[in-house]
Chains A and B, each alone.
Chain A
């Protein structure tokens, strides 16, 4: 029923197109509205199913963010080691200022290495980083 009245309305519109341009605009608006509603439905369907797929990814993101220390006296440094060690990082690894003297660097290196020695259950990777830090600091230190 709705279809036939719609068709009849279209016919009448075509017949009077020259005399009543406003009717044409009204029909276009109706078509636009219908297209929008179709787009809304498709969009809703897509977002509903897309969300199910992306939920694990979103969960991983929010859980990781939650785990970052929020309060407390000291917040741990974030991320892994720098791809190419900087003097700043070397200082942080050894616990000395980037402008430390050679003696201080040697002292710190020995202390930190003893704590992290692979023979005593330390990690070889960390030991390598500690040595790299010492080499870097000594390379550029004058005193």
Chain B
């Protein structure tokens, strides 16, 4: 008798736990989307900016791109990277900034893709 009660309790805890986890995940995704809607970086993006020491805004300024379009970013990166080659008398320091800017924007696009995947995974459940 006790064994069955224990089993029911355990199942109950699992169900509640799973629902709780799902709710937390939805809240996290919703907060990321809300932050982005207000033009502020989400938690993940802010963390990456802090770790790499390069914000999305600065990266966009360095590469002179107004939107996060992969083609624009690539084109600008290639031009600026070549322009600042040491072999033509360019500044390695500036070239480094160009590289870091490209890396930062690539990472940002990655984060956005991840969030989109998460959201599309949750929508069918609601």
In contact, A64 and B17 (Cβ under 8 angstroms):
no
Q: Is A79 an interface residue (CB 8 A)?
A: yes
Which B residues touch A53, using CB under 8 A?
A: 21, 24-25, 28
Among the 9-residue stretches A9-17, A26-34, A89-97, the one with 4 or more Cβ atoms under 8 Å from chain B is A89-97
* B95 and A76 form a contact (CB under 8 A): yes
Cβ of A80 and Cβ of B17 under 8 Å apart? no
Name B's interface SS. Answer: helix
Residues of the A chain whose Cβ atoms lie less than 8 Å from the Cβ of B107? 60, 63-64, 67
User: In the complex, which of the residues A89, A112, A115, A123 contacts B76, with contact meaning CB atoms closer than 8 Å?
Assistant: A123
Is the beta-carbon distance between A126 and B62 smaller than 8 angstroms? yes
Chain B residue with Cβ nearest A61 = B51
- On whether the beta carbons of A80 and B83 are closer than 8 Å, the reply is no
Known: A60-B48, A80-B53, A111-B89. A123 touches B2 (CB 8 A): no
B114 at the interface (CB under 8 A from A): yes
Are B84 and A115 touching (Cβ within 8 A)?
yes
Interface centre among A1, A65, A95, A111 (most CB of B within 10 A): A95
Contact B47 A80 (CB under 8 A): no
CB within 8 Å of A: which B69-126 residues: 76, 79-80, 83-84, 88-101, 103, 107, 110-111, 114, 118
Instruction: Quote the shortest CB–CB distance from B53 to chain A (angstroms).
Output: 3
Is A19 engaged at the interface, CB distance under 8 Å to the other chain? no
Kindly state the separation between the CA atoms of A67 and B111 in the bound complex, as whole angstroms: 15
A3 with B2: CB separation less than 8 A: yes
Chain B nearest CB from A14 CB (Å) reads: 24
A79 touches B54 (CB 8 A): yes
Known: A76-B95, A123-B64. 13 other contacts (CB 8 A): A49-B24, A53-B24, A57-B43, A64-B103, A65-B51, A78-B53, A78-B96, A80-B59, A80-B100, A89-B93, A112-B90, A115-B84, A125-B62
* Residue contacts A-B, CB under 8 angstroms, 13 given: A45-B17, A49-B21, A60-B47, A60-B48, A65-B51, A76-B100, A93-B93, A95-B89, A112-B90, A112-B94, A115-B89, A116-B94, A126-B80
Report B's interface with A, CB cutoff 8 A: 2, 13, 17, 20-21, 24-25, 28, 43-44, 47-48, 51-55, 58-59, 61-64, 76, 79-80, 83-84, 88-101, 103, 107, 110-111, 114, 118
